[in-house]
Amino acid sequence: MIRWLMVGVMVACLAPVWAVGHVTGTVYFLRGGGRVPVAGARVCVGAAATTSDAAGRFALDAPDGAQTVVVTHPHFHDPLTLPVAVVDDATTEVDAHLGQVYYLFVGINAYTDSHLPHLRSAVRDARSMRAALTASFWGDDVTLLDRQATKACIGDAVTRLIAAMTPADYFVFYYSGHGGTALGPGDGTHYDFLQPVDSDANHPERDLYDTEVAAWLACLPAPTHAVLILDSCHAGGFLRGTPVAGEVWKRGGDAPLPSIGCTLLAATGAHEYSIDDERGGFFTRRLVQGLTHAHAQADVDHNRDLTASELLDYTASAVTRAAKAVHETQHPCLLPGSNPALLRY
């Protein structure tokens, strides 16, 4: 009996001792040029897992060698993966910057050009969309309303946001205001545009053309992470003939936005008007419903991510019926792109 006990002790002493190191770091995102710590992020290294505290800090032990840190949080689109070299009995610090969403909201009721009638609900709709979208995926946002929303100011805001972005980030541009379409001289090409607050019938260069928007998006670190939501007349013209739902049309020429791979939700077909009433735009009002109290209904596959295509499905037929009830025609359209989630619940 004594011999067996001694053998057992010897076996225990020969058992391998795994080398273990320590991994620490801070989980954060950027807002206004500063770091915002993220509490409640799940951090995993192999089988080890922990949660970031109120200061965004985390600490865990992991086997030494090449490892991967994976950070997830429901208010951020994609998992963050970071390669890390863990050293036995040493501490390795990692910088866990989560990819986020950069939002630009534009709403214009009161135009400076007397030829452009004032709108009733564009400002309210921009505010409603800001509240609905930023409550889900966190990030940084800019809102330009009425006289703030000149073409120059919109361009400056886009430039500033793009300069801060990384390939892991997303860009969402919501616009509510006047929009138009026109034939170019000689070649019969359609030019589709949004109308900033300083648009002028005598100065077409003050309009914001689809080709200009496409040039902005091409400068993004990841253009397929861009989402445009346009609630304006003729918004479907930005799709350049490739709608998924609603009116179908075909025009010549290249399609700048489809070639970039972005996602576009448009309130109307290319030759339709965007209808509103005292409660807001038909399109935006339905979008906000889908993004707030009706999200479970709009989420067709029930995976708790509400994508652009699911929002279009929830919105299109209801908007068409509402417009028909007031003797108008309106067919929301979608350019699917990467079809990202706009809400997670």
Question: Facing residues of 103 across strands?
Answer: 141, 172
Per-residue pLDDT tens over the stretch 181-222:
887 655 566 778 999 999 998 898 999 998 889 889 999 999
Per-residue pLDDT tens over the stretch 23-37:
999 999 988 888 999
Question: Facing residues of 44 across strands?
Answer: 49, 70
Question: Which pLDDT band, with edges at 50, 70 and 90, does 5 fall under?
Answer: very low
pLDDT of residue 19: 84
Residue 65 scores a pLDDT above 70: yes
- Mark whether 314 and 182 lie in a shared domain: yes
**Residue tagged 């009161």 (tokens):** 110
Per-residue pLDDT tens over the stretch 238-288:
886 433 333 333 333 344 677 789 999 999 999 999 999 989 999 999 999
- Mark whether 178 and 312 lie in a shared domain: yes
User: How many other C-beta atoms can be found within 10 angstroms of the C-beta atom of residue 233?
Assistant: 23
Residue 68 scores a pLDDT above 90: yes
- Mark whether 65 and 93 lie in a shared domain: yes
Q: Which domain holds residue 67?
A: 17-97
Please identify, among 97, 120, 138, the residue that sits at the C-terminal boundary of a domain.
97
Say if 180 falls within a structural domain. Answer: yes
Please identify, among 97, 117, 134, the residue that sits at the C-terminal boundary of a domain.
97
The answer for residues whose C-beta is within 8 angstroms of residue 149's C-beta and 6 or more apart is: 106, 107, 108, 177, 196, 197
Domain count for the chain: 2
Asked if residue 234 lies in contact with residue 272, where contact means CB atoms within 8 angstroms, the answer is: yes
The answer for residues whose C-beta is within 8 angstroms of residue 65's C-beta and 6 or more apart is: 85, 86
Say if 4 falls within a structural domain. Answer: no
- Mark whether 69 and 209 lie in a shared domain: no
Question: Facing residues of 81 across strands?
Answer: 70
- Mark whether 184 and 79 lie in a shared domain: no
Residue 174 scores a pLDDT above 60: yes
Average per-residue pLDDT for the chain: 88
Per-residue pLDDT tens over the stretch 83-120:
999 999 999 999 999 999 999 999 999 999 988 999 99
